[in-house]
Structure 1
């Protein structure tokens, strides 16, 4: 980061970081399901991504590009689950003009088919500033540990 930046630039950077944190939390909220009548919000999920976004996870054998393919993948991934709950922690967000990166630690609780899993993972996200605000340009998910019962 530049050493001599204006107060306006510093405020804009802080506003961008907060907007990205909120975007990431909304993403988690939209893909959660299984309590208090909550279902995955497939209708609103596309509003969070750029049209050419990518979603990758070597452990899940997923590498898709394009918002429609991401939504189709998420529909398949969540179809048989009874519960899914995401908790993004330890955000490291770097702003570079109209693009940004985020690194998160992530806990995901999943229940389905009589099995309950708690997955500890990390997620690297690329963001792009658009005319309608920050959007997710790419997600890379890395599994660290799977705990199940």
Structure 2
């Protein structure tokens, strides 16, 4: 007959990786979010209905957003391993000017409904990333304040 052996705790420690508990609720929620849909679910629970619906919705029959979401789902990554990525250059020209990456921050009206810093935060993020920022005609921040937040960046107005 085989005698059962119970492992000693010291033998198990190398296989157990305990995480420190995160007391900050926001960090805990965001760390648990694995997809954009997870982030959307968190936002829907935590944002007032009017602000969430304004941000999450789109125009009329929502055909464009349906197509955009489908296009996002249709993207399939084909990873290439063992490639030299020591010198990746994402700089490009966007509408005749330099950009650190091939995109910019699009205009979003009433940004302060979602975040108290509004367009100032977006303009600062664009400056840090080296990408263009676009102020919406329905923006909640003045053109001058956007320029102050992103003094050397490419600031556009919708």
TM-score by length of 1: 0.23
Whichever structure has more strand as a proportion of its residues is: 1
Task: Flag the structure with larger Rg.
Answer: 2
Q: Which has the higher helix share?
A: 2
